[in-house]
Structure 1
Amino acid sequence: MYAVIETGGKQFKVKVGDVLKIAKLNVEQGNEVVFDKVLLFQGNEGLKIGSPYVEGLKIKGEVVETGKDKKVLVYRPPSKKAIHRLKGHRQWYTKVKIKEIIGG
């Protein structure tokens, strides 16, 4: 049994017990989060495809941690003036453990 959810502008295939690393959510560590944007669900009864979302289906998860990802370097090569830029960026993330699928 699995589902495809949408969060943070991205889609993730999830099943019970999975740990996802998604864009930062404003939820404290240890609290529960509910994903209601379910695009697809595969269960015992077959495949349900939403248009755009499956009605009455929710995914419950628990926030494991929130932090910053590894540094990504952004380099702009020199143009005519030979001035270059090197910047670093660390993206915030939230790790969520999937607890249950409700309505499936």
Structure 2
Amino acid sequence: MYAVVKTGGKQYRVATGEKIKVEQIPADVGTEITLDQVLLVGEGESVKIGAPLVAGASVKATVLAQGRHKKIEIFKMRRRKHYQKHQGHRQNYTELRIEAISA
């Protein structure tokens, strides 16, 4: 069984037992959270598509870690103009393990 959930403005295809990194969710490590914005639920040949959400569907997940992604380097330069600008960014994430999908 798999599902497509929406969290943090992005959509993720998840299945039971998978680990995913999503945009940061304010939750402690080890707590169980419920993702209730389920857009699609599929099992074999049968697929339920929501309009826009599947009614009564939810995904239970456990928070494994809170962390930060690798640093993204931003470098801007204008040639022959003596202009260089360095900038960096690290995005926060929450790592989840999908425990159960209910439709």
- TM-score (structure 1 length as normaliser): 0.92
Q: Match for 2:24: what amino acid? A: K
Q: Match for 1:66: what amino acid? A: Q
- Match in the other structure for 1:13: 13
Mean Cα deviation higher: 56-65 or 45-54: 45-54
- Match in the other structure for 1:42: 42
Structure 2: segments with no counterpart, 5+ residues? none
Structure 1: segments with no counterpart, 5+ residues? none
- TM-score (structure 2 length as normaliser): 0.93
Shift of the 83–45 alpha-carbon distance from structure 1 to 2, 3 Å rule, reads closer
Identity of aligned residues (%): 38
SS at match of 1:97: strand
1:57 aligns with 2:57: yes
Q: After superposition, what is the alpha-carbon deviation per residue over 1:39-73, rounded to whole angstroms, capped at 9, x for unaligned?
A: 11102681100011100000000000001111100
**What aligned pairs does 1:1-104 form with structure 2 within 5 A after superposition?**
1-43=1-43, 46-78=46-78, 81-102=81-102, 104=103
Shift of 1:24: 0.6
Query: Pairwise CA RMSD of aligned residues?
Result: 1.5
| Structure with the largest fraction of strand | 2
Q: Match for 1:97: what amino acid? A: R
- In structure 2, how many angstroms separate the alpha carbons of the residues matched to 1:46 and 1:7? 24
